[in-house]
Amino acid sequence: MIHDILPHKLFNEFKICDPKPTDYLIRYAGGKTLLKNNNAATSGTTGAAYNIPRVGELLSLEGKTLADFEGHYLFSIDDTGFFLDDSAVAKTSDATTHAGYEYVGNRTFRSMDPVERLGGVTAAHIAHWESQNKFCGVCGNVTIRGDKERSIVCPKCGNVVYPRISPVVIVAVHNGDKLLMAHNIDNPNPRLFLISGFVEVGESLEQAVHREVQEEAGVKVKNVRYFGSQPWPFSDSLIAGFTAELDGDDTIHMQEAELSEAMWVRREDIPEYETDVSISCCLIENFRWGFTLDSES
């Protein structure tokens, strides 16, 4: 999954520090991040289509030195820091760029190597949160970054805002040797995945599982069991994965506002899914390989 980057390690403790030239520099504008396009570049190709630029790389392109650096530390992977450029502007069209570099959406990170994939999209998650909290939601004053923890503070009224991490549940519903699979109308990937959705106010993760399956597929589940979790910075989320068993009637009543397809798929008809990024694929592969739930074995 996206956070499994061994032998590398994420260090996300809050601190304030200066960059090294080899640290990564995130320049974020209009919901997009500036990356080096290796296919457009004439030299320096590393194999990956895109790379996150380094602090020294962009500074030298702009005729600047570390003394000119305007940005702040976010976190490190191993001993390489990720810094967010403070010169970021609201619109990509107003942002500074260079030949061979382009602003791209979060989805591009999915095809990058594990360190730049996790680090890049996590930095973009923080950059998005900072960009949406330039002004206090209580009094309208200009906000500043907290200096003791990852927070945004209003110096006028004291309002404190923390990074937004929205919980999501995803569930593999077993029905004997069949798995409930669906396609969300908003997902550009045409493959079938699992039932998922944001946790609503006032409910537990398990209650969200029951509600989402009922709403989207019109069936009931029992024996809801926690499987694991993963960060999902692509949508500012934390995803909790579950397994469950069909309870009663297996007739699917699909929620057409959310899904384009929902069906029971036999184990032998499920194709292989890559498990390096998402817990959804891990849950599907877990079923495909024949792992059963306690009450089924």
Determine, following the binding rule CB under 5 A, whether residue 154 of this chain makes contact with Zn ion: yes
Judged by CB under 5 A, the residue of 22, 141, 166, 187 near Zn ion is: 141
151 scored as a contact of Zn ion (CB under 5 A): no
Assess 160 for contact with Zn ion (CB under 5 A): no
Which one, of 168, 167, 15, 152, lies nearest residue 81 by Cα? 15
Does 142 sit near Zn ion (CB under 5 A)?
Answer: no
Q: Does 159 bind Zn ion (CB under 5 A)?
A: yes
Min CB(159)–Zn ion separation in Å: 4
* Residue 153 makes contact with Zn ion by CB under 5 A: no
- Residue 193 carries which DSSP code? B
**Cα 110-79-115 angle, rounded to 5 deg:** 10
Joined tokens for residue 284: 């599907």
3-class secondary-structure state, position 73: strand
Q: Judged by CB under 5 A, how many residues of this single chain contact Zn ion?
A: 8
Of 67-75, 99-107, 150-158, 258-266, the segment contacting Zn ion by CB under 5 A is 150-158
What is the closest distance, in whole angstroms, from the C-beta atom of residue 154 to Zn ion in the complex?
A: 3
Q: Which is nearer to Zn ion, 153 or 217 (CB)?
A: 153
C-alpha distances out from residue 73 to 17, 65, 84, 89, 165, Å:
6, 17, 6, 18, 20
Separation between Cα atoms, residue 156 and residue 14, nearest integer Å? 23
Shortest distance (Å) from residue 140 CB to Zn ion: 7
Positive or negative, the Cα torsion across 201, 203, 209, 211?
Answer: negative
Q: Please identify, using beta-carbon distances, which residue of 138 and 165 lies nearer to Zn ion.
A: 138
Within residues 177-216, the interface with Zn ion by CB under 5 A covers none
Q: Which of 1, 26, 127, 136 binds Zn ion (CB under 5 A)?
A: 136
Stretch that binds Zn ion, among 107-115, 158-166, 212-220, 240-248 (CB under 5 A): 158-166
| Residue choice 17, 144, 157, 165 for contact with Zn ion (CB under 5 A) | 157
Contact with Zn ion (CB under 5 A) among 138, 142, 144, 160: 138
d(CA 66, CA 81): 14
Q: Would you state the structure tokens that stand for residue 180, as one six-digit string?
A: 């409930």
Q: For residues 81 and 10, is the Cβ–Cβ distance under 8 A?
A: no
Give whichever of 15 and 156 is closer to Zn ion, judged by the CB atom: 156
Determine the Cα–Cα distance for residues 279 and 189; give it in Å rounded to an integer.
16
User: Three-state secondary structure along 84-145?
Assistant: EECCCCCCHHHCCCCCCEEEECHHHHHHCCHHHHHHHHHHHHHHHHHHCCCECCCCCCECEE
Contact letters (x/-) for Zn ion, 94-133, by CB under 5 A? ----------------------------------------
Residue among 137 and 176 whose Cβ is closer to Zn ion:
137
- CB nearer to Zn ion: pick between 140 and 228: 140
Contacts with Zn ion by CB under 5 A lie at 136, 138-139, 141, 154, 156-157, 159
